[in-house]
Amino acid sequence: MYTLVLILHSWIRWIALVAGFAATFAAFSDDSGPAQTGRADRWGLALMMALDIQMLLGLLLYLVISPTMEAIRADFGAAMRDPAARFFAVEHLSMMLAAVVLTHVGRILARKAATTQQKRMRLSICFGIATLLMVVGIPWPGLRGGRPLFRL
């Protein structure tokens, strides 16, 4: 089960990244009114769904089935001194959780916007920061705690 969840978590990140970039760029050019559904809204929904699935899979790994996280939780103090372990125990989790929250908040704020310009700005800022957090929070190969780009 661990391997399957890890593979799914690894592959769905690409969907989340594509949706994040697409939602951010669509928000800059979206001219749909606050009450209308435009390209940014549709990409934002795809981003939100991908991030929600990622969060569920990540929490399953983090709290239940990952042997790496089990070892980190067994001696959290030692994990904080190891940059790779700290990345997964704190940094990855924090950045990705913030990306999920920003995506949800951005969609809510956009619905409450009075003008098209406000909607565009709110979506652009929230989706842009969420996408940036995802890019920074991914364990890219070659970095501390780096993981393969594509797990099989």
pLDDT tens per residue, range 19-60: 999 999 999 887 766 667 788 899 999 999 999 999 999 999
Query: Which pLDDT belongs to residue 141?
Result: 92
Tell me the domain boundaries of the chain.
2-137
Residues in the chain predicted with pLDDT less than 50, given as ranges, are none
Cβ proximity of 84 and 32 under 8 Å: no
CA 88 to chain centre: 14
Query: Which pLDDT belongs to residue 35?
Result: 65
Query: Which pLDDT belongs to residue 34?
Result: 67
